[in-house]
Amino acid sequence: MSSTPVPGVTGDREPLPSPSSSAARPRPPVGWRRRIWRLVPYVPALVPAAIVVAIAATLVVASGLHNFGLGFFGLAFNSNLNQFGMLVFIVGSFLTAVPALFLSMAIGLGIAIASTTYLPPFLAKIFDPFVDLLAGIPSVVYGIWAFLVIAPIFGNLLNPWAVAHLSFIPGFAGNSVSPTTAGVGLPISIFVLTLMSLPITTLLIRDALRSVPRDLWESGLALGATRWEVVRRVSLRHGSRGIWSAAFLGFGRAIGETVAVAMVIGSTDKLPTNVYDVTWTMSSFMFQTLDAAFGNSLYLAALAELALVLLVITLAVNLLGRRLVRHIYAEEVAGL
Amino acid sequence: MSGTLPTSEAPPSAESTVLSTRELSVLSKQRSILTHVNIDFAPRSLTAVIGPSGCGKTTFVRTLNRMVELTPGLSVEGSVNYLGQDIYGRGIDPVLVRRRIGMVFQRPTVFPMSIFENAAFGLRIIHESEDEIDKAVTEALQRSGLWDEVKDDLNRSAFSLSGGQQQRLCIARALAVRPRVLLLDEPTSALDPMASQRVEATMRGLKEEIVLVLVTHNVGQAARVSDRVAFLHAGNLVEVGPTAEILERPREALTQQFVTGRFS
Amino acid sequence: MATAVGSAVRLDPSDDLRRGDTGWLRWRTGFDRWMGVLLPLLFGVAILPILDVVYYISAKAVPTLSWSVLTSYADYQAQDALGVPIVTTFLFMLAATAIAVALGLFGGIATAEFLPERAAGWVRMSANLLAGMPSVIVGYFGYFAFVIYFGWGLNFIAGVFTLAFFMTPYIFRTADLAFSSIPRPIREAAYGSGAKPVQYILRVGTPIAFPQILTGVFLAMAIGVGETAPIILTVQPGLLVPNTLFQPAVYMTYLIWTGFSQPANSVALTLAFQAAFLIIIAVLALNIVVRFVAARYRKRLEGLYQ
């Protein structure tokens, strides 16, 4: 790649003297020119980095790094009273993203193991793209489908069933009828987030499992182990980095997801009282209240600061997840 | 869940054959890879399988523990008999076959675990008791000649071992489940000469205890460690017999040509 | 069993291959077989939603669609008229893609061709981080930077640039990958015959990498056409197709966002379904084109590996 010497840029060519150059013209030393040329490719290459920095910088400026005090991480939110406690939204983000991550990893593991181990190759080749297709559906389309089709199922069927049968588990008891529309709230938001982070977790776990060398796999079988035993004890361990990476990146996806969640979370600035309740997440709250903040500079600053919190979380999680995986780009397939 | 595991056998008997093949053939869609191989393996012996590349030695040895089934598109005909039972018979689970007939691969394939856990792998999956596992691991490591080198810390990662040590760990791992047969597919081809020697020494020790089937492209190695030599060519078993005979006074011209290095 | 080999060998229960140690073996094999059935079923978790989404949206949208609806430039807030949103979205896509390509293409190529490994690693990390940004954050950036600080207001141009920044990393990655996967022999042959880097890129690299880059552009467009936050936060919806850069403009996803919770049979909800349907069609079409181009590209590359 760029390890082969590139003639011209690291150039060793002297400029050809022009015919009438016998008169000495002051020329810059060639080394200086060479060093400038070597930097030229960095200009376009640094564009993404520049954008990231610009985003962070803009949010920092917009928030003015206002000291909202500890109240920023408090519960009281009332824009009229200049109270900007964001805890509800932070909690909401985690309450939806963490369960979604667990579900997405569990299902992703199952699908990846099925695809690499149990399904005959031709079937795997047919089914694998479907999971990637999930990533192709825009968030807002998920949202409208979830809101109109799935939410009623949760509201009329699943939530009442859970209340009836699972109320011994703390949090599962109580009123499952949401104050707004039937079925919106935490459960369906988790459902949506699971679906949306499934492509990236499945893809990364599948890649990790595929990286197990053939004779390592066969060594396991040759010891009299079943496929499951080899997968569980050898393959998963061998691919553990990739699996952790799947977890981090999947979480990043889940917590950053905005529009679909906005449509089914219930959009209430209160902490949920049980698992069926409505609430709000950082991303969806930011999305839905920006226009309410027009003109209110304090409100805008608070929102920008919340954006910074989300940005930091996202960057941290993505950095950690990417450091674990050796590929350049884990998802060259479909821009996940 | 076996109460008594076999220890050293009774004195050898002429009729006893632990493993044998009858009219064993392996066919792919395009061609036949092995044709009508008949061979017997006596209880405490090392049989070297030699032949030019592509002659089917690896495929042959992989039929002996049903690993050939992992390659799609191949069909197996004939029989492979372990203690009188055709391992390809109906109702026979390859998982059990592979416990009795173990395999060591070309490259050292240690699992990403500690030395102890590697060796214990085969026993863990059959849910042996901790005591049994301890005993069996120690015994296996001793039999493979690795014990003295690792006994100080068995909890080290297997990757901290050298290539030769890792391969002997793979042998120990296979031995831990007390197989009667051990298949070795060019086990020293990825090792340096020193390490190869250690592995050959291990094999010489093991052939006093169990049946070893060694695939090797190195005729010298066959001469050094084996009791019998089988020469395969283009899927046919050309000749099989005591090592000295095959290597010095082979009956077939083809064998003669191969062992004198005319072709490989 | 002992009769098979006489008294020469003391047998272990597991030597009986037919029964062996039936206790654990049956359980282990059974469990493995169960997994072989259950785990593949999990594919349904992915497949069923996709099918249902496409079916549901199509079922709701198709009956209401007609040529007149698609081409009418009437007020979409009052009646079912998709002309303005379709054309405006198209303009958005064109402009944003152009800017994204300008921003991402050269960087990707530069990273693949010129940067040393360590720098390339960091640069690629930055592209990945940018791609992983929540859309709402990019939208917020667009709002503060373009709408407020640049003073562009909630107009078309702000949305175009915000969307372009959002799409850039995908183009960047694809260009980088495309050039990185040009077979070494070809690259070395070109440089060996004295080509300068720019000549290599233009004459040798681009023709080879072009199909892959094109697929990357299409995929970026497929992502962009479905985005909501970057546009809604930076552009005021307009009833007309924008003539200049500093006008309000409406986006397809806007129709879904505003219409999804409206009553059944309302214009807004109908528009929402129709918009969703059209977006799905667009994404599907782009993906099909991508697969088509990728297949031809693979064929071409196979020839190069002689």
**Contact: C137, A59; criterion CB under 8 Å:** yes
Q: Which residue of A has its CA nearest to B67?
A: A222
Query: What three-state secondary structure class fits C168?
Result: helix
Mean pLDDT score, B133-158: 93
Q: Residue B15: pLDDT above 50?
A: no
Mean pLDDT score, A96-108: 97
Backbone angles phi, psi at C270, to 5 degrees: -60, -45
* Residue A175 belongs to domain with CATH number: 1.10.3720.10
Q: Measure B62 CA to nearest chain A CA, in Å.
A: 10
Residue C30 resides in a domain = no
**Contact: C17, B15; criterion CB under 8 Å:** no
Q: Residue B4: pLDDT above 60?
A: no
User: Is the model's pTM score more than 0.95?
Assistant: no
E strand intervals along chain B: 19-27, 32-41, 45-50, 75-82, 85-86, 101-104, 181-185, 211-215, 228-233, 236-242
**Contact: C4, B83; criterion CB under 8 Å:** yes
**Which pLDDT band holds residue C9 (cuts at 50, 70, 90)?**
low
pLDDT number for residue C170: 94
pLDDT number for residue A25: 54
Q: Provide the token pair at B139.
A: 């015994």
Least Cα distance to B62 among B121, B103, B107 occurs for B103
Closest Cβ–Cβ partner in A59, A258, A319 for C229? A258
**Which segment of A4-13, B114-123, B201-210, B242-251 scores lowest on mean pLDDT?**
A4-13
Q: Residue A67: pLDDT above 50?
A: yes
Interface test with B, best of C5, C12, C17, C26 (most B CBs within 10 A): C17
Q: Does C226 touch chain B (CB under 8 A)?
A: no
* Residue C102 belongs to domain with CATH number: 1.10.3720.10
**Which pLDDT band holds residue A8 (cuts at 50, 70, 90)?**
very low
Least Cα distance to A198 among A242, A246, A237, A262 occurs for A246
pLDDT number for residue B8: 36
Q: Residue C57: pLDDT above 90?
A: yes
pLDDT number for residue C54: 95
DSSP conformational letter for C263: P
Q: Residue C169: pLDDT above 90?
A: yes
pLDDT number for residue A156: 86
Mean pLDDT score, C179-190: 87
**Contact: A233, B111; criterion CB under 8 Å:** yes
Residue C7 resides in a domain = no
Provide the residue range defining the domain that includes C273: 50-304
**SS3 sequence of chain A:** CCCCCCCCCCCCCCCCCCCCCCCCCCCCCHHHHHHHHHHCCHHHHCHHHHHHHHHHHHHHHHHCCCCCCHHHHCCCEEHHHCEECCHHHHHHHHHHHHHHHHHHHHHHHHHHHHHHHHCCHHHHHHHHHHHHHHCCCCHHHHHHHHHHHHHHHHHHHHHHHHHHHHCCCCCCCCCCCCCCCCCCCHHHHHHHHHHHHHHHHHHHHHHHHHCCCHHHHHHHHHCCCCHHHHHHHHHHHHCHHHHHHHHHHHHHHHHHCCHHHHHHCECCCCCCCCCCCCECCHHHHHHHHCHHHCCCHHHHHHHHHHHHHHHHHHHHHHHHHHHHCCCCCCCCCCCC
Is-contact B217 B189, C-beta < 8 A?
yes
Q: Measure C123 CA to nearest chain A CA, in Å.
A: 6
**Contact: B107, A229; criterion CB under 8 Å:** no
Least Cα distance to B115 among B76, B87, B66, B152 occurs for B152
* CA atoms of B264 and B118, how far apart (whole Å): 36
Q: Measure A7 CA to nearest chain C CA, in Å.
A: 6
Winning range, highest mean pLDDT, from A35-39, A98-102, B17-21, C260-264: A98-102
Q: Residue A196: pLDDT above 90?
A: yes
Q: Which residue of B has its CA nearest to C11?
A: B6
Is-contact B2 C13, C-beta < 8 A?
yes
Total number of domains constituting chain A: 1
**Which pLDDT band holds residue C35 (cuts at 50, 70, 90)?**
very high
Residue A222 resides in a domain = yes
* CA atoms of C47 and C58, how far apart (whole Å): 17
DSSP conformational letter for B114: B
Mean pLDDT score, C65-92: 89
Interface test with B, best of C7, C9, C24, C25 (most B CBs within 10 A): C9
Q: Does A332 touch chain C (CB under 8 A)?
A: yes
Q: Does B170 touch chain A (CB under 8 A)?
A: yes
Residue A204 resides in a domain = yes
Least Cα distance to B235 among B14, B46, B57 occurs for B57
Pairs across A and C, CB distance < 8 A: 294
pLDDT number for residue C2: 37
Provide the residue range defining the domain that includes A175: 69-324
**Which pLDDT band holds residue A26 (cuts at 50, 70, 90)?**
low
Mean pLDDT score, C31-37: 95
Least Cα distance to C253 among B14, A111, A49, A258 occurs for A258
Q: Provide the token pair at B100.
A: 């009795």
Total number of domains constituting chain C: 1
Q: Does B175 touch chain A (CB under 8 A)?
A: no
Is-contact C118 C198, C-beta < 8 A?
no
Closest Cβ–Cβ partner in C7, C11, C17 for B87? C17
pLDDT number for residue C301: 67
Residue A334 resides in a domain = no
Q: Does C75 touch chain B (CB under 8 A)?
A: no
**Which segment of A57-71, A100-114, B10-24, C128-142 scores lowest on mean pLDDT?**
B10-24
**Which pLDDT band holds residue A24 (cuts at 50, 70, 90)?**
low
**Contact: C5, B96; criterion CB under 8 Å:** no
Query: What three-state secondary structure class fits C77?
Result: coil
Q: Does A124 touch chain B (CB under 8 A)?
A: no
Tens digit of each residue's pLDDT (9 = 90 or more) over B41-85: 998 999 999 999 888 999 999 999 999 999 888 999 999 999 888
Q: Measure A14 CA to nearest chain C CA, in Å.
A: 14
Q: Does A36 touch chain C (CB under 8 A)?
A: no
- Set out the domains of chain B in order of their start, with CATH numbers: 19-259 (3.40.50.300)
**Which pLDDT band holds residue C60 (cuts at 50, 70, 90)?**
very high
Pairs across B and C, CB distance < 8 A: 83
Tens digit of each residue's pLDDT (9 = 90 or more) over C136-165: 999 999 999 999 999 999 999 999 999 999
Q: Residue B14: pLDDT above 60?
A: no
- Which positions in chain C touch B178 (Cβ < 8 Å)? 12
Burial of B239-258, coded b for 16+ CB within 10 Å and e otherwise, reads bbbebeebbeebeeebbbeb
Q: Which residue of C has its CA nearest to B89?
A: C18
Residue C18 resides in a domain = no
In sequence order, the 6+-apart residues with CB closer than 8 A to the CB of C82 are C69, C70, C71, C72, C76, C271, C274, C275, C278
Q: Residue A157: pLDDT above 90?
A: no
**Chains sharing 3 or more CB pairs under 8 A with chain C:** A, B
Average pLDDT value for chain A: 84
Q: Does A123 touch chain B (CB under 8 A)?
A: no
**Contact: C8, B43; criterion CB under 8 Å:** yes
Give the rounded percent of residues in chain C with a pLDDT score beyond 70. Answer: 92
Dihedral angle, C-alpha C53, C55, C57, C59, nearest 10 °: -160
Mean pLDDT score, B108-133: 94
C-alpha distances in angstroms, C269 versus B85, C238, C273?
A: 71, 18, 6
In sequence order, the 6+-apart residues with CB closer than 8 A to the CB of A244 are A321, A324
- Exposed, middle or buried: residue B147 (CB in 10 Å: 0-12, 13-18, 19+)? middle
**Which pLDDT band holds residue A297 (cuts at 50, 70, 90)?**
confident
Q: Does A29 touch chain B (CB under 8 A)?
A: no
Closest Cβ–Cβ partner in C5, C7, C28 for B83? C5
Tens digit of each residue's pLDDT (9 = 90 or more) over A158-177: 888 888 888 788 878 776 66
Tens digit of each residue's pLDDT (9 = 90 or more) over C208-233: 888 889 999 999 999 999 999 999 99
**Contact: A223, B124; criterion CB under 8 Å:** no
pLDDT number for residue A84: 77
Residue A303 resides in a domain = yes
pLDDT number for residue B264: 61
- Residues linked to residue B213 through DSSP beta bridges, in sequence order: B47, B183
pLDDT number for residue A323: 84
Least Cα distance to A89 among A305, A297, A292 occurs for A305
**Radius of gyration in angstroms for the set of CA atoms belonging to chain C, rounded to a whole number:** 28
In sequence order, the 6+-apart residues with CB closer than 8 A to the CB of A265 are A92, A96, A184, A185, A186, A189, A278, A279, A280, A281, A284
**Contact: C196, A134; criterion CB under 8 Å:** no
Closest Cβ–Cβ partner in A228, A286, A335 for C32? A228
